[in-house]
Amino acid sequence: MTDRATYPVQLVQPDGRRVFDREHAASVSDVGPEQLRQLFEDMVVARRIDTEATALQRQGQLGLWPPLLGQEAAQIGSVHALRPDDYVFCSYREAAVAYGRGVDPATITRLWRGVAHSCWDPAEINMTNPAIVVGAQGLHATGYAYAAHLDGAEIAVIAYFGDGATSQGDIAEALGFAAAWSAPVVFFCQNNQWAISEPVRVQSQTPIVRRAYGYGIPGVQVDGNDALGVLAVTRQAVARARSGGGPSFIEAITYRMGPHTTADDPTRYRASAELELWQRRDPIDRMRRLLEREDLWDSAFEQRVRTRSDEVGAALRTATIEMPDPDPMELFDHVYAAPHPLIGEERRDYAAYLEGVRS
């Protein structure tokens, strides 16, 4: 790899104008008007899911929520590059990816409300549930990808993580194993500029993507607020994985406009001027300007998007508030894939404890 890869790929500028890039534009040459509109709609709905969940947490209906505000293009653009049989390993902020994989929005808050160990069934959509342990999913993705390779499955595996996770040993180990095994895994780093309260410059004095070069893994930086650019580079990376080309690394340059989680106050560590700068690069505004420039925006489409957004927001809110409390004994379900004597013993002890409390 050369330093050329450190200049972010961009196919759509903030004002909606196309960028001439023969190499990467070719990867999305088939994306027509309806696909562009679908990208926009999915981004708007993803933002509605996020703002609704944030509001629910502020109202005491969720224990915690990790906002994705500002990262819609990175998530929706990349998930549109995947096939149903590809497998996704996420962190805790990929609600937009989950929506793009077909997750029922009514289930997205189950974990965050504390009524279940998970939000959805991974087997139904080939995507793991939110991972709270930072960086662990990189190793899980690499192991799964290598196993799929040994089984002869022509799939791609993608691991999402933030810039902060690249400072964890798990990601370094995952890169090492992926390179050694030529595992079909795409490492997708959403560099949103802040690892909780630490700016990315504290973690790395060079672009994060360069870390992949030391392992012999090809990497690329992309404007993470450009959904079309993200779609292009992700398509290239997953195609490489499926064809036996091995791992790839994508660094999507984006920005977390909201707090790290709803337990965080970003005004304590970042300047308002920085936020205002990135608000002018809003990924949804950018896609709308592209649609307007290419005569793909009209009142009917605007109403379609608003209706879909309202429906999803209302469904998520209603489902969250009406979620029943779980039976206490469900605590022991799904801890292991098969019966385990220790879990059986703990289940019996807890049942006896509950019986004593109730009597």
User: Active-site residue numbers?
Assistant: 256, 260, 269
Q: Where are the alpha helices (DSSP H) in 94-222?
A: 95-100, 110-113, 122-125, 136-151, 169-181, 200-203, 210-213
Closest C-alpha to 10, from 77, 97, 79: 77
Query: Which residues have a Cβ under 8 Å from the Cβ of 350 and sit 6 or more positions away?
Result: 328, 329, 331, 332
**CA dist list (Å): 32 to 37, 78, 286:** 9, 17, 17
Closest C-alpha to 113, from 134, 130, 137: 130
Query: Which residues have a Cβ under 8 Å from the Cβ of 3 and sit 6 or more positions away?
Result: none
| Secondary structure element (H or E) that encloses residue 48, with its range | helix 33-58
Instruction: Tell me how far apart the alpha carbons of residues 91 and 160 are, in angstroms, rounded to a whole number.
Output: 6
Give φ, ψ of 303 to 5 degrees: -70, -35
Amino acid of residue 2: T
Phi-psi region of 149 (alpha: psi -120 to 50; beta: other; left: phi over 0): alpha
Instruction: Tell me how far apart the alpha carbons of residues 19 and 17 are, in angstroms, rounded to a whole number.
Output: 7
**CA dist list (Å): 89 to 39, 84, 321:** 21, 14, 28
Instruction: Tell me how far apart the alpha carbons of residues 214 and 255 are, in angstroms, rounded to a whole number.
Output: 26
Cβ atoms < 10 Å from Cβ of 354? 13
DSSP state for residue 270 in the 8-state scheme: S
Structural tokens at position 123? 């087997």
Q: Residue 223 burial by CB count (10 A; 0-12/13-18/19+): exposed, middle or buried?
A: buried
Give φ, ψ of 199 to 5 degrees: -70, 155
Which stretches does DSSP call E strand in 16-119?
Answer: 87-89
